[in-house]
Every structure is written in structure tokens, then in C-alpha cells.
Chains A and B, each alone.
Chain A
Amino acid sequence: MRVQEDAIAVRDALATARVGLVDREVVAEVVTLCAVAGEHLLVIGAPGTAKSLAVRRIAEQLGGRYFEYMLGRFTEPNEIFGPVDLRRLREGVVEIRTAGMLPEAEIAFLDEVFLGSTAILNTLLGLLNERIFRRGATVSAAPLRVCVGAANHVPQDPSLAAFADRFLARVFVEPVADARLEELLEEGDTFSTPGLVSPVSPHALSGIDRLSEAAQSCRLASVRPVLATAVRRMRAAGVPITDRRAVRSQRLVAAAAVLDGRLAAEPGDLWTLPLIASTPDAQAAARDVLADLIGAAGSGSLCHAAEEYSHGSAARARRLAENGRDLLARFGSGPTDGDRRLRLEAVLREIDAGFAATDLGAELAAVRDRLVAAVQS
């Protein structure tokens, strides 16, 4: 089935994007989820937390035209959208030369997005909502699959909050966990250079497009009652969910299903719902009240994100199995030196600390056996 092949291709692209990406796997996966859902993502986190690196890494793997810019209070619209065409201006027409700029980008990353001027944010609204670029006499369809906005914190200004609402999904980034600092120190420097890891497929973006089409026809009828229950629970727990966000959350659910190789959504795909909550506390509350609905969640392609937003053991098992396979593939069958052995042991430790031997399941048990053989070789 084509959707399964495309989902596997995306999984491979994500696996390559994750190489050297320490504790930012969730960002890369949610960018992919949003690209398939046709929604936009806001990444909130302190400066220096590798937000842009994570987006750049997955953009490299997905291919297509990528645009990245850091906005400031004095950023001019032409720095983002392109300069005015002077030749046409002499003819009395304000037209924008958009080549290589945001209106022609397929994946975009706008750092400090809320620092943009009113003129920039207004133009961005049209681009994000309708995927149409309008400025002066220039009106053009934008090929934008996903725009990732980044900021240090969620804006409190009501006018900016309305703009922020256009980003359906939110990921909150914390500094790398203490347990992974050695990995960060080892890999952070090596893999921070753009283009270091070649894309596994030059056509990954066309796979994303096909999955996006499939998501639009994904069967959601069987999960709608569960989705309604979930939204009611989130609202009752004090998580504000506007009607618009509730409706659009279905796109994330459908995208999660097709990225797992299915054309029909299941209740487990509702692990995406905490993403639409607007603060870390609200996301945690959403996870808690949805625990029994999304506890069995899991995703072959988005294993880190599914675990992060479901906290379920099934998602954790799939993520650990994926991590183990990644490392085994990367290190090959050769002898394991000190650093490699420590990396393999870290996964084994997480498996043993996370699952009783009787609860491993066949897939994770097999990966564990291979890891044990590798560290003991």
C-alpha cells in the first residue's frame, strides 16, 4: 500500500535527521506531523536550545525549498518576502520579487516570530491561513507545507496571541536532560554543521504530499466520539480549546494515522491532542486527563512524539525499539568501543528500567537481545 511505503520513507528520513540530534527528536517529528497535516508549529524555548538545528535537520531530509530567518523589531518586510521589483515600480506597479524568499518556500523557520512588525505579521497571516501571498500587486499561491515559528516564550499581548493561534501545534523545548549531557557534548559539536548528513531520499517531500492527500481522506468517523470526549475532558480540566482548534485537531489525528501507515484513525492517534494546548502546564494537564484514551498510543514514524504526548508504555516500547535499531544500524556489527558501548548500554538501561522482563513484548525483546549481544561482543 502506498501510504505504508510513504510512511516508511518518512520514518527513514526522520531516523537520518535524528543522527546527532540530542533530545530534539520530538521537534523534528512534530514538524513532519504538521507538514502532513498542513498545519503550522510554534516551538517555544530558551535561546540556545537547538530549535533551529532540529528544524533545519528535518528540512534537509524532507528536501524542497527551505527558508529560515530571524526576525527583529527592525526587520523590513522585504527581508522576508522579497524586495520590490524596481523595474515594475517605474511602471507604477508595486510588485515583489519573491524568488528564494518566504513566499516560495516549502518549509520555513521563522525565529523570534513575534518580534515581526505589524506589516510582516499581517502578510504572514494570509500566508499561513490561506497559503496565498498578497503584497501590493503581487498575489501568488504559496507552496508552503509547514511554517515553524520559534520564540522564547508565549506572547501575552492579546493581538499577538491571535497571531499565535494560527500555529495549531506547540512544542515546548527544555535544555537537554542531564542524563543525555555526555551524548550532547559528544555529538552536538560534530553534527551541528548543516548538510553533514545527506538526505536518504531526494523525493521525501513528494512522499509528504502524498501522505497529506491521504490524510484528507483518512477515515475519522470511528474516533470522533472519542475525540469529542477528549476535548470535553480537556476543557473541563481548564485547557482552553477554541472551536476552531478542536476542529483542526482532526488534521493532526489524521496525519498521525497516515504516518503510521493507516487510512483510518484509531483512538491511539489522539496522542496528538496535547499538542494543541497552549502552555506546558496545559499540555501536561491534557496528557493526564487523556491518559486512559491515549495510553495505548504508538507511532512507527513519530515514536518520540507519541511517547512524549501520551506517556504510554506502548509508545515508549516503540521508541526504545526504534532507538535500539538506529544505534545497531549506525554502529554495525563491529566491536563496540568505549563510547559505542556506553550508548548501547544507555538504551539497554532505559529498556530494563522501563519494562519488567515479562512486559517487553516481542519487538522490544528482540531488539534488547541484539543490543545485549552487541555490548557483549
Chain B
Amino acid sequence: MGEPGGPGSVEPIRSATVGRGGQWRDGRAESGSGGQSGVGRVERGGQGRDESSPLGGREASGADAEDEPIVVGPAVPVWHPRESPLPVAAVLARGAAVAGLAARIVERSDGGDPLRAAGDHAWLVVMGENLPWLDAVTYLGWDGEALTPTTMRPEPSAELWRAAIGPDDLVVLLPERILTAPMPVGPADRERLAALATPPTPVVSKVLVASPPPPAWEARTATPGDDA
């Protein structure tokens, strides 16, 4: 098993929920009033959830979702369709689609350019050239230094979201979640992918994050703030 960010690994991803309310929270900082002009700081942990938010108020998927309560903020990011899609740089599978994507990567990992991966049974992001096609996956492209769906553009811009999220290497902005992880630099680990290719059980995701050690999935809430 590889080290986080190192070769031969499948990096654990943290998941953040985008919601209404204050700034991104990590349980230390104050709630913001923002949402007017930009993306606030990223803060983790936090409290509460906003049931009125169509995007907030969801449990973060993944093994440790309950460890990171979802915090909701005052604004929901707006997404616009792109007239010209971004070039494909990665593919994202959610939930039930993860096993299929992992299986396809395992099938073809003997040839071609090595693919890099981050994820677990709930989310799997695979980066590289010649990505496979599967039904019900989402293709991602680089919008600055963040990955977004190729057909959509966030508002505020991905650049501001990326700056607000902080030091995480890999940031995936989605309408329903923000995923972060150390940037995978080496080829995806076949054993871990093979484990993901089997249907998840309640304990499997714990096993997946056991080495390297958690943070596994981490729920966060992102909202625009004033001090991006």
C-alpha cells in the first residue's frame, strides 16, 4: 500500500457539502455573513445543517461522514452550463457506479498510460488519459486548479472556491459536494482498486482507509464569504 500522495495508492477523499449560512467552517472560526461577493475561508467541522437547502443537509457519503457534521452556509453556489465543455481530465463515479469504474481500471491497468485514483466505495475519481466510458459517471475537467464537471461552470468561479478550500491538492467541485484529497501522483494501486470493484459492505470502507490512516471521507460545508 502506498503512502498518501505517493505512488501506488488510491488516495482517500474527503467530501464536503455545499450549503447556506456562514463561511466554510472547521469548528474554530466564526460564522460569516457572506455569500455576497466571493468564497470564504474553508473551515472544517462546524455544526448543524440547513434542511431548507437543496444541497445542504445531506449526509456526506463515505465511511466517516458522521464524524464531520455538515454545516450549512448562507449561499448555494450557482452552476451554469458551459458552451464549450472542458477537456476531459478525470472521471468520477458515485455510489453504485464506483465498483464498475474500479473494475474497468483494474481490467486495463496492464497497458497504456497509468491512471491515478482517489476515493473509496462512495466516490472514486480517476485521472489520466484515455479514461473508460461507463454509464452514470461524470467526466471532469480542470477549471484552473479544481476539477469540475466538464459541462458546468460554478459561480463564484472555481478559482475562488479553490483558494478558499486551502491546501488540499485535489479539489473536485460538484453541485452536491466538494471532494478533496491529497493529489495522487503515482499509478493507482491495483489491490485497492480491486477491493473497490467488489460491492461495498459496512466495514469495507473502514478497511480501505485503515492504511494509510484516515482521514478517509470528511464532510465539510462550503459557502461563499467576504474574505476570499
Contacts and interface: CB of A to CB of B under 8 A. Distances in A.
A313 B83 contact: yes
Looking at chain A, what size class is its interface with the partner chain?
20 to 34
B151 A179 contact: no
Interface stretch (A83-91, A326-334, A353-361): A353-361
B139 A353 contact: yes
B83 A311 contact: yes
Looking at chain B, what size class is its interface with the partner chain?
10 to 19
Contacts of A349: 88, 131-133, 139
A45 B88 CA distance: 26
A352 B133 contact: yes
B83 A353 contact: no
Contacts of B152: 356
Contacts of B2: none
B133 A346 contact: yes
Interface centre among A182, A345, A359 (most CB of B within 10 A): A345
Given A179-B130, A182-B130, A352 B137 contact: yes
Contact of B129 (A178, A295, A352): A178
Contacts of A352: 133, 137, 139
A355 B88 CA distance: 12
A206 B141 CA distance: 46
B84 A311 contact: yes
Contact of A354 (B85, B135, B137): B85
A291 interface: yes
Interface in A339-377: 345-346, 348-349, 352-356, 359, 372, 375
A353 B92 CA distance: 11
Contact of B83 (A312, A348, A356, A375): A312
Contacts of A372: 135
A281 B34 CA distance: 41
Interface string B93-137: 000000000000000000000000000000000000111110101
B129 A179 contact: yes
Nearest to B150: A353
B81 interface: yes
B133 A348 contact: yes
Interface centre among A179, A295, A311 (most CB of B within 10 A): A179
Contacts of B83: 291, 295, 311-313
Interface centre among A313, A348, A352 (most CB of B within 10 A): A352
A352 to B, nearest CB: 6
B153 to A, nearest CB: 12
Contacts of B132: 345, 349
A349 B130 CA distance: 10
Nearest to A371: B133
A348 B130 CA distance: 13
A353 B81 CA distance: 12
Given A311-B83, A372-B135, A353 B151 contact: yes
Interface of A: 178-179, 182, 291, 295, 311-313, 345-346, 348-349, 352-356, 359, 372, 375
